[in-house]
């Protein structure tokens, strides 16, 4: 009976080891918007992802990459103020 409990406990431990968060990086698994709001964590996540080629395909890595791209785009172009304003006359009507 004691041996059976030990075997069951070992199976549970090994089974739960596959459920660890090691596949979601040091920042955990977050959406792109969250990483965009937390650029330091996104940078840590990207560093972790780039450290091992197979990690790059993980959803956590893809979200962190996209967030860093969004952050860089906003820094380059800036935040639009008031949107696009079109001036001038409308195009001539089609005959």
Chain-centroid distance, C-alpha 15: 26
Q: pLDDT tens-digit profile of 74-90?
A: 889 886 666 666 666 66
Q: How many domains, the chain? A: 1
Instruction: Please check whether residue 9 lies inside any domain of the structure.
Output: no
Q: pLDDT tens-digit profile of 22-36?
A: 567 777 789 999 999
- Residues 6+ positions from 49 with CB-CB distance below 8 Å: 25, 55, 56, 58, 60, 61, 64, 65
Would you say the pTM of this structure is higher than 0.75? no
DSSP state of 52: S
Residue 42 belongs to what domain range? 21-77
Instruction: Please check whether residue 95 lies inside any domain of the structure.
Output: no
């Amino acid at each position: 009976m004691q041996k059976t409990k030990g075997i069951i406990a070992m199976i549970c431990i090994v089974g739960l080891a596959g459920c660890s968060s090691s596949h979601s990086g040091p920042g955990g698994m977050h959406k792109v918007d969250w990483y965009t709001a937390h650029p330091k964590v996104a940078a840590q996540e990207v560093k972790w992802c780039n450290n091992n080629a197979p990690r790059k395909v993980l959803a956590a890595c893809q979200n962190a990459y996209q967030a860093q791209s969004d952050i860089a785009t906003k820094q380059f172009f800036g935040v639009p103020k008031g949107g696009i304003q079109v001036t001038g006359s409308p195009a001539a009507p089609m005959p």
